[in-house]
């Protein structure tokens, strides 16, 4: 976005929303989804006796801590970086939906309402339709 922008998906560096945008743009996939992958992979790939392991439990512990950052932010604003939808919302939506779909996190009211807003956008529907194989 920095190379090929400007785009409404990224606030300018001097925009007051920019610090939150940067934080949550990277938190979604690197700080939440990556941690949730550990228990998900353990569930499907580890031998039965090793699926509920210390590493998977620790990863979920830290994912839940980071989920609190998301919850607190959403209690103060419509979108994750403020009052405008940005690429940070795409990143956070991916992580929340992944965790919810895999059953590794439980979302509260603020996160659930947020997913309804992001996934209810017309652009989300188009992206989802374009990602599905043709019948």
Q: Please say whether the beta carbons of 129 and 67 come within 8 A.
A: no
User: For residue 135, what pLDDT is reported?
Assistant: 63
Percent of the chain with pLDDT over 70: 99
Tens-place pLDDT, residues 76-86:
999 999 999 99
**Measured between alpha carbons, how far is 114 from 119 in angstroms, rounded to an integer?**
8
Domains and CATH numbers, the chain: 18-129 (1.20.1050.10)
Cα distance between residue 44 and residue 131, in whole Å = 24
Q: Shortest CA distance to 1 belongs to which of 87, 128, 130?
A: 87
Judge whether residue 134 has pLDDT over 80. Answer: no
Give the confidence band of 24 by pLDDT, cuts at 50, 70, 90.
Answer: very high
């Amino acid at each position: 976005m920095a190379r090929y922008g400007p785009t409404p998906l990224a606030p300018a560096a001097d925009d007051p929303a920019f610090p939150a945008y940067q934080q949550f743009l990277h938190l979604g996939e690197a700080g939440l989804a990556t941690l949730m992958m550990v228990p998900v992979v353990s569930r499907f790939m580890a031998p039965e006796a090793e699926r509920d392991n210390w590493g998977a439990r620790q990863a979920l512990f830290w994912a839940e801590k980071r989920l609190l950052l998301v919850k607190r932010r959403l209690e103060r604003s419509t979108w994750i970086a403020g009052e405008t939808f940005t690429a940070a919302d795409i990143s956070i939506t991916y992580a929340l939906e992944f965790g919810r779909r895999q059953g590794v996190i439980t979302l509260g009211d603020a996160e659930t309402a947020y997913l309804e807003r992001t996934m209810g956008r017309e652009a989300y529907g188009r992206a989802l339709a374009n990602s599905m194989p043709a019948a």
